[in-house]
Structure 1
């Protein structure tokens, strides 16, 4: 009986997420420290040694991250089509192959002292496998299919929680593992070996045991696209138009928020490695762990908020949380101020999972994989914009105000709150409509309401 329960648990998507994130946190810490060590002797005319090192690091990560976002565009779309045609595991398995190969690439760079530029090829290989966009949209599609519309936001946030807790554990351990070495194995080798083995186990689990489960809903499949019972063609067209506008608002909000978050977090690593913070590998791991704690606090926030406020209001709370924390980060000159800023970010991960939940309820289940992949690709395009913009701005403000990029990130977060506010207003207005029957006075009644609310008008 116990063996059957364990096997059933291993057939779910959660173990895959945990193992992948553990391997990824090990890889991220190792890559950050390897790049720092390789750029230690960089020189740039007119710059100090530290500023030259910062420029070399950020230039590498800019190129690396641009490759990560450009190469998966077409492969992830093809994998999404395969997913919607019944091959639901294809995006997950394909991207996990890329994860494994990129980890092996960094391990070879460290063991054989190969040029760091080989990691750019590893990034391209990872992107051609579908990359993170294919993996995460594939995971979220599996979660969406196995959950009802009312529980979808909670189910997606639960996955984010597991992802964050795995990252928390991995981050706490990674800094210590990086410093373990022997006479034959240098710094970071043991960390990368463990991370690679975790990714290999994750891939085997996804190929052999991962199960696709579809929980049917009592609600009609066309719920988000058509009104419940209407023979009026004009009303049908108005309903479709309304939902299309909602989808556009969700995409715009996701783009702006990811632009703000990605741009700021991308520069947070180099920011903590320079004076006055000057973090060690252990402190880098602890800092990453603080970021992963936000997964837990965001999940708690969803549990607390979902029954008393709308999904749109939850998104606004999360955006406000990030805007306030990243604003303080601009003035972080000591480690304790850094952690205070991260504490203010405690609900910063609520927006994107909730946006995904709302989006999945605006389309038919047969198109869910494609819709979520398109959203993930929208975030990729946001990355193509913020990576060079924030990198160059950070390099040009190193001398007078390195935290300026965090102020800019806070501004873009506030801009992202505008489309969500419009969506909330539209959703509140759509809960009630006026209907005239015979000569009676118009009366207000509840009908099918926008995503994120139930037919009784209460938040799901």
Structure 2
């Protein structure tokens, strides 16, 4: 008997993703440090390898290493851009007809291959530059955006009530918060107690278990229709995908088209800032004057992950007294405040406290996804989330590239500049939501627009 719950897959995938990111960044940081300074960092050392005295040669060295790590992260991100965009769009769009498990299986295979490669690379001390090829090949199978988009579409297929849909999507963020919080908290101890090789091996085992669950235990709410069983060429497949995306907008009323465009723009710009600055936090914490070690970085990641839990609680409580759009406003404004405060954090206590304004960071992403899903009929959910994942992949890669480049260029004279820039850029999704609100938007308009468009399509047929 198949299990209709995608949450266990999210749990295992979030564990692997949350543990992989800080481990990879710190692994690359240590390798570049050793390559540049010609001496190694002891993993079990309680002494920070960070120098706070600006007149010291070590301080100049660590600034150079910061630039190198940032630029290498940029190269890794760019390497996965094109394959990630293509695979995300194809897998999620085809899931409308071939089943929601398609993007989940494919992206899990890519993640498993990448984690095994990380394990081998660290064990045999292979050149760390090979991570670029690993990122490229992994993106061909679909990235985490592909996986998460498939999970959201899976849930939307099961939810008929609109409020239930918002809460169920928020549950994913709650689950992400619990997993990423605990994993982030323990990531430093993984490195210190097990080393990189065993830590990457544990990640590989978690992804393998997840793949087995998806293949053999998870149910598939979407079944391939008989009309889709006819084999078609790759060219025709691409034409079909773009045609479905085009029809997603063409078969909509003018008001629904404007809602789709503004909401997609809002989510993409917010995602651009939040995802783009995420890797910078670790580099910022490793640098002077904070000089955090792997354990403190784990504490910081855990506190940052609390936002998923608090965002879920916020959505659950706020949904009884306010509309979706007002919840999104709260999330963006509090995140903007957190970015501004981070730019001026110079002590460990201050850096830990600035995590508090980020409590509702995940609210806009969950809420706007739910808002978009309410605009689109159930038969087009895969195409919609394919568009969302495509934009998130493009925006995420562009954002990480841009912010790594900015941080690399500004770290020597003001490391907090990147966070100040993020606070300013978050004004864009705020203005976008204001436009949506000023168009006399209301909660009931979603269902009415979708019903009207569905009746129009039936009449045309």
- For residues 393 and 87 of structure 2, the distance between their equivalents in structure 1, rounded to whole angstroms, comes to 13
Establish whether residue 17 from structure 1 lines up as the match of residue 10 from structure 2.
yes
Among 88, 100, 117, the alignment partner of 1:105 is: 117
Using CA pairs under 8 Å that are at least 6 residues apart, name the structure with larger relative contact order, 1 or 2: 2
Conserved? CA contact 1:23–1:195, under 8 Å: yes
User: Which residue of 2 is the match for residue 377 of structure 1?
Assistant: 390
Deviation at 1:169, TM superposition (A): 1.5
Partners of 2:444 and 2:286 in 1: CA distance: 51
Q: Given the alignment, which residue of 388, 403, 406 partners 1:390?
A: 403
CA distance in 2, matches of 1:101, 1:124: 11
Aligned partner (choices 175, 183, 193) of residue 188 of structure 2: 175
Contact preservation (8 Å) 1:165, 1:295: yes
Going from structure 1 to structure 2, the CA distance change for 1:53 and 1:448 (only over 3 Å counts) comes to closer
CA distance in 1, matches of 2:200, 2:155: 30
The separation in 2 between residues aligned to 1:190 and 1:317, in whole angstroms, is 41
Q: Is the 8 A contact 1:42 1:52 kept in 2?
A: no
Structure number with greater Rg is: 1
* 1:86 equivalent among 80, 95, 98: 98
Equivalent residue for 2:140?
Answer: 128
User: Size of the alignment, in residue pairs?
Assistant: 403
Q: Which protein has the bigger helix share?
A: 2
CA distance in 2, matches of 1:450, 1:424: 16
Q: Offset of 1:43 from its aligned partner?
A: 5.2
Q: Is the 8 A contact 1:318 1:350 kept in 2?
A: yes
Unaligned runs of 5+ in 1: 1-6, 182-186, 215-236, 433-446, 452-460
Deviation of 1:96 after TM superposition, in Å, equals 0.4
Aligned twin of 1:205: 213
Name which of 353, 361, 375 aligns with 1:340: 353
* Correspondence for 1:116: 128
Matched residues in 2 for 1:128 and 1:109: separation?
20
Aligned-residue offset at 1:448: 5.5
- Residue 171 of structure 2 is matched in structure 1 by 158
Q: Distance in 2 between matches of 1:391 and 1:178?
A: 24
Relative distance call for 1:195 and 1:448 in structure 2 (3 A) is closer
Q: CA distance change for structure 1 residues 370 and 238 in 2, over 3 Å: closer, same or farther?
A: closer
Q: Is the 8 A contact 2:103 2:142 kept in 1?
A: yes
8 A Cα contact 1:319 1:417, kept in partner? yes
- Corresponding residue SS for 1:151: helix
2:89 equivalent to 1:96: no
Tell me which residue corresponds to 2:240.
none
Q: Give deviations 1:285-305, integer Å, cap 9, x for gaps.
A: 111111111100000100111
Shift of 1:449: 4.8
Aligned equivalent of 2:69: 57
Cα distance between partner residues in 1 of 2:354 and 2:271: 18
Mind listing any 5+ residue stretches in structure 2 that lack a counterpart? 38-56, 223-249, 451-461
- TM-score norm. by structure 1 comes to 0.83
Match of 1:419 in 2: 432
Q: Which moved more, 1:65-74 or 1:251-260?
A: 65-74
Instruction: Please give the alpha-carbon distance, in whole angstroms, between the structure 2 residues aligned to 1:206 and 1:448.
Output: 32
Sort the Cα spacing of 1:399 and 1:174 in 2 relative to 1 into closer, same or farther, 3 A: closer
Match of 2:330 in 1: 317
